[in-house]
Amino acid sequence: MTIVYEKSKGLTDVPFHYCPGCTHGVIHKLVAESLVELGVLDDAIGVAPVGCSVLAYKYFNCDMQEAAHGRAPAVATGIKRALPDKVVFTYQGDGDLASIGTAEVVHAAHRGEKITTIFVNNAIYGMTGGQMAPTTLVGQKTTTSPFGRDEAHCGKPIRISEMIATIDGAKFVERVTVDTPANIRKAKKAIKRAFECQLKGQGFALVEVLSSCPTNWGLTPLKALEWLRDNMIPYYPLGNFKDFGEGK
């Protein structure tokens, strides 16, 4: 019998708790496969956030630490400085990274911290039940922007990849999404490259993954991906913002 597909060894057997149609599962798979394919799973130490992916420490089949809300890049800094030969990554959502944890991610990038950050942007606070995120689009209705995000009241959504790319210490920054098989392949390539950035000792690497939240957007999984394409991608353009050059 030929095995044509199997679950990555980078994931444990614990069933995901994610809602139907949520793309966290796909992104977890890409991170896990990247660690395995680069041969670094046994040297990897991951840092889980607070938010929908708070339980990521149960899913990645490597040593994990659970950080306080937004502090994952600081925790990862502590790990990497203690164990510079290990592969350290954070997995964070938009509330965690783009709101409460902006100082930590900006300064980790600024120091050129040799860690890899996977930033999942679904434009909403999912875990707490659909509140406005710093990445919520103008006009987007959430439980704390019931009439739609008002730019005059709370500004425009924050573009993290563009901001991080301006920092010298950040050596790899790319925004991807996982709405189609083709885009999933591109996302995987970017995630692998972000780990290579760390393995080559280049500096900080961030991959922003545009993700859907059917539950809190109030859409079916397919409609949610359509909404992502029609609304998120125009504001959050896909593509590479920075690459460390070698072997590009």
Tell me the closest approach of the beta carbon of residue 100 to other proteins, in angstroms: 10
For other proteins, the closer CB: 81 or 156: 81
For other proteins, the closer CB: 70 or 157: 70
Q: Count of CB atoms within 10 A of residue 51's CB?
A: 25
Tell me the closest approach of the beta carbon of residue 42 to other proteins, in angstroms: 4
Tell me the closest approach of the beta carbon of residue 12 to other proteins, in angstroms: 8
Contacts with other proteins, residue ranges (CB under 8 A): 12, 41-45, 47, 54-55, 57-58, 60-68, 71, 74-83, 86-87, 103-104, 106-107, 110-111
Distance between alpha carbon 86 and the CA centroid of its chain, in Å?
A: 20
Q: How far apart are CA 244 and CA 248, in angstroms?
A: 8
Tell me the closest approach of the beta carbon of residue 165 to other proteins, in angstroms: 19
For other proteins, the closer CB: 77 or 117: 77
Tell me the closest approach of the beta carbon of residue 148 to other proteins, in angstroms: 33
For other proteins, the closer CB: 19 or 233: 19
DSSP string covering 91-154, please?
A: EEEHHIIIIITHHHHHHHHHTT-S-EEEEEE-SSBTTTTSB--TTPPBT--BTTBTT-B-HHHH
For residue 109, which phi and psi values (nearest 5 degrees)? -65, -45
Count how many Cα atoms sit within 13 Å of the Cα of residue 61 in the half-sphere of its side chain.
18
H or E element that contains 170: strand 170-177
For other proteins, the closer CB: 74 or 123: 74
Residue with tokens 């949610």: 224
